Structures are given as structure tokens and as C-alpha cells.
Structure 1
């Protein structure tokens, strides 16, 4: 199907995780308006269906809905199977799902929740869908990180925060993991027509961190909320990376405000990125991912 000037994503299939609200929903809305066939994931069926109805009105096209808790690896694998059955093509995967928890929680797999949802979920889902992305190329993997990655450090001796836990430290570690994963994925995809980029969406006015907020979120976020970006503004870089024709071959970069930026010094540690990939593959029982 040919792309029209006003609908540049016509004929493209885009999967957006965590698209029931906030930046994820705004990203999906903008891509639907560009003509994309949308597929969205959400944890709650009612919210996922409501988001899909909004998207159908926005773009007038087909919207596939997949529901599940991506902090559970069994759920990620089930969703991946359903996605592969339903979608013959995946041109863009937007790894948007994520969150912040001030206190330590274990997932169904016995892993620390922030690391499991923010890093291991996109790591596993991307790898399970990678062959379909290759078959659909040119294709793109877009992963939502955060400027919080600049204060992050991968503690390979205590990845799960069992010895010492801080919500802020766990979050920044997971966001650094997003960037390291993206850079390693881009290196592994060299020579293919599948790209991988990460981004900082900005400080956005959403329900982020409201389930288990820390002192900073409780005290300062209400004061700063009027100054924060709307979700639609925060989605702009995700949308650009998913759709801009001039970025079709751009890969292995970190974007903020729509432009490539230098990420933290730690994010360029290739040995750490390779080790993180190996550890992540072991934690997700993923074989033959390299």
C-alpha cells in the first residue's frame, strides 16, 4: 500500500506497549492519525479496549489489543505468541511500558519489579519479535528510556536490589539498561534493515509513579505539574523515531527533543552492554538471542 502525503504511516503496522494512557496512548494516537495499523498492549482489559476505541476514532483503522502484565515473563511470552499470530507484519515496535516503584516488589518470577518491567520486559519481547521485524524490514525498534539514565549504574552484584534498594536507584539503573540494550541491539542488527534507538521523552504530566511514589514524587511533582509537558508533547520524539523518513537508517542513538544527543559515559561501555545482554538472556531463559 502506498503512503499518502498526509498519512505517511499508511500500510505500516506499529506495536506500542503500555499504550492505555500517558505517553504510550499519545504516541499511538499520533501514529494512528498518520495512517498506521496500531497494535497496543495494556495490563487491564477495560483500559486497553477503551484506548483502542479512541485510536479507532483517531485513525479510522484497525487496532489490535493485547492484554497482560509485562512484568511476568510468562505473560510476555504469551503476548508475543498472540502478536505473532495476529500481525503478519511489524514495522515498528515502541517499547514504552515502564514505571517507578519506591519500595521493592518481587514479580511472579521472583525478580525486582522495576528491573523486570522496565528492562527485562522490552528485552524479552523485542527478542521474541525480532524475526518478524526482520521479515517486515525496513523496521524500527524504539525504546523509551529517560534522562534519569545519566545517574544510573548497572550493579551486576546486586541487580535485583536484594542487598540495598532505592526506588530512584532502581529506576535510573533500569533506564541505563534501556540505553545499553538499545546500543547492543543496534550493533547486533548491523547489516540488517532493522534499526534500534532510545529516547528521553521529557518531563511529562502523566500518572507515572502514582502507584508507589517516593518523597520526591509526593512533594515536588504536584508543585511542578503545571510546568510539565503534556503527554502529546512527550510523545513527539517516539513518534519521530517511529515515522520520520529521514531516520529510516538511523540506529544506535539516543534522542531527546527529536534530535540525537550524547548519552551518559556509562551507556557507551560495550563490555557492560554485552554482559548485561548475557545476564538478561539468562534471567529470561532466552536461548540463541545473539
Structure 2
């Protein structure tokens, strides 16, 4: 039986993928931070007669320690993982800089560090799968944002938009480094931009912008059900290269600063040092 692990798996695109793979007969481990959303997913699985194939794993992925504990739990539960889908994100475009108890800027921790820990930490259970895939859901192909090498935690001149865009650019480089560090790996790493999808993202925005964003979503956004189709196709039939990037169905050229291998390896070394220092 195929095993699919999905972070952000109780809401939006992550939940859509979870239900898709339950329909397909797969075993799904859905990671989320809200028990109520986890219970709702379990109820929907029960309605599909798939309750025995779904597990809700509660985890606060703003914490590196929690992400590492999640890796340990999954490795203790699964002999192999066929697909790892990284969807967990919560936009903080407005408001003051927020730091996690471990001292990391919130967006850097949730949207990047958790994906770094899970990508590398679950490699041992991905490798044995017949066609292992990691899909990192973000914004490859959007030429905005950069890594602030001199101050990656944005202690100076912080803005929520700057932090969010940096986390997305970091995830582009994460995929590049993952493939470069292990050229012989069987794992196919895909950076994936789903485009504009009608999810619950606007619920976290301030009230005036929330209403405007919901109105624009009603006109421009595709539904979760439609957005899941090309994602599932790539997960089931991944390209042959170790790393690739897509915007919906369009494959992106791996050029420019977003996919620079030197920058990717530099970020990998910086991140590895941050994670190791947290443990010390």
C-alpha cells in the first residue's frame, strides 16, 4: 500500500490531496496543528470507509524540535514513504516580527526550516519506495524575494512580505541542494507552484484585505479539487531528473538566482549550522 505524508494536510490543498489519495486506496499521514481540523479530516475519511488508512499527526512546525520529533514518529511508523508533500504555511504579511521559542523568525521556521528537516530527515524511508517523490509547494517561477544572507532572521528592517518571500526563495534552493548533495538518489524532488487556489489563506489577513482577497479569489482562483489534479499527476508520474520545478502544468527552466547551485549549497550549510546550534 502506498504511503503519503502531507504537512498542512488538514486544510486547503493539503487536505484536498489527502482525500484524493484516500480515494485512491493509499495510506495517508496528515500533519496539522489544529485538532479540530484533524478531527474533521478523520470524519471525512470515515465517510469514505478509509478511517483505517488515515492518521492525523498533530505538530507545531514552527518548532525545529517538533519537526525532528515528527521525523522520528514517521520513521517509527512507516517502513517506507512513497510521497512527501510539504504544504504547511501561514502567511504573516502584516504585523510585527514574531520569533519562535527557539529564536527563529516565524516564516523562516514554519515555511522553510520545517521543510528542510522533513526533506532530509525522511530520506531514509523515502529511498526504499518504488518511486519516491518530495513535492515542496511554494512559488517557483515568481521572481520576487531573496535570501538575506547578512541577516536571514530579519532582525533589522523586518516586514512580513519580505519574510514570506525569503522563505519561498529558500525552498527553491532547498530542492536544488537536496538533488546536488545526493546525485545518485532515487528520490525525485519537485518544487511546485499551484497558482492561485481558493483556500482558507485569506482568513489570516487583516479584515479589509481579507474581504478584497476573498473577492478576487472568487473570480481568479481555481478550486482545490481542480488544483489537486496536476499535483497528483506529477506525484504519480514524476520526471526523471532529481530536481524539477513547475508552475501548475508548465515545467520551469532551472536558471537564475532562484535555482543557483552555489547559493543552494551555501544556504544548506547555513541551515545545517542553525539546526545544529539549536541542539547544542
8 Å contact from structure 1 (residues 16, 40) kept in 2: yes
SS in 1 for 2:204: coil
Deviation at 1:212, TM superposition (A): 4.6
Match of 1:20 among 10, 16, 20: 10
SS in 1 for 2:71: helix
Corresponding residue number in structure 1 for 2:151? 158
Corresponding residue number in structure 2 for 1:73? 64
Go from structure 1 to structure 2 and tell me whether the alpha carbon gap of 1:222 and 1:282 turns closer, same or farther (over 3 Å shift).
Answer: same
Corresponding residue number in structure 2 for 1:170? 163
SS in 2 for 1:192: coil
Go from structure 1 to structure 2 and tell me whether the alpha carbon gap of 1:71 and 1:214 turns closer, same or farther (over 3 Å shift).
Answer: farther
Structure 2: segments with no counterpart, 5+ residues: none
Moved more, 224-233 or 255-264: 255-264
Deviation at 1:233, TM superposition (A): 2.3
Deviation at 1:22, TM superposition (A): 0.5
8 Å contact from structure 1 (residues 95, 144) kept in 2: yes
Match of 2:30 among 16, 20, 40: 40
Deviation at 1:80, TM superposition (A): 1.4
Go from structure 1 to structure 2 and tell me whether the alpha carbon gap of 1:198 and 1:76 turns closer, same or farther (over 3 Å shift).
Answer: same
Match of 2:201 among 202, 205, 208: 208
8 Å contact from structure 2 (residues 196, 217) kept in 1: no
Distance in 2 between the 1:268 and 1:239 partners?
24
Distance in 1 between the 2:113 and 2:127 partners?
21
Match of 1:53 among 29, 43, 54: 43
Distance in 2 between the 1:144 and 1:129 partners?
17
Written as runs of structure 1 = structure 2, the 5 A alignment for 1:185-196 is: 185-196=178-189
8 Å contact from structure 1 (residues 202, 257) kept in 2: yes
Distance in 2 between the 1:286 and 1:187 partners?
24
8 Å contact from structure 1 (residues 40, 66) kept in 2: yes
Deviation at 1:56, TM superposition (A): 4.5
Go from structure 1 to structure 2 and tell me whether the alpha carbon gap of 1:266 and 1:220 turns closer, same or farther (over 3 Å shift).
Answer: farther
Matched, 1:141 2:131: no
Go from structure 1 to structure 2 and tell me whether the alpha carbon gap of 1:148 and 1:258 turns closer, same or farther (over 3 Å shift).
Answer: closer
SS in 1 for 2:148: coil
Deviation at 1:51, TM superposition (A): 1.1
SS in 1 for 2:188: strand
Deviation at 1:231, TM superposition (A): 1.7
Go from structure 1 to structure 2 and tell me whether the alpha carbon gap of 1:213 and 1:255 turns closer, same or farther (over 3 Å shift).
Answer: farther
Distance in 2 between the 1:30 and 1:23 partners?
10
Give the length in aligned residue pairs: 274
Structure 1: segments with no counterpart, 5+ residues: 1-10
8 Å contact from structure 1 (residues 39, 64) kept in 2: yes
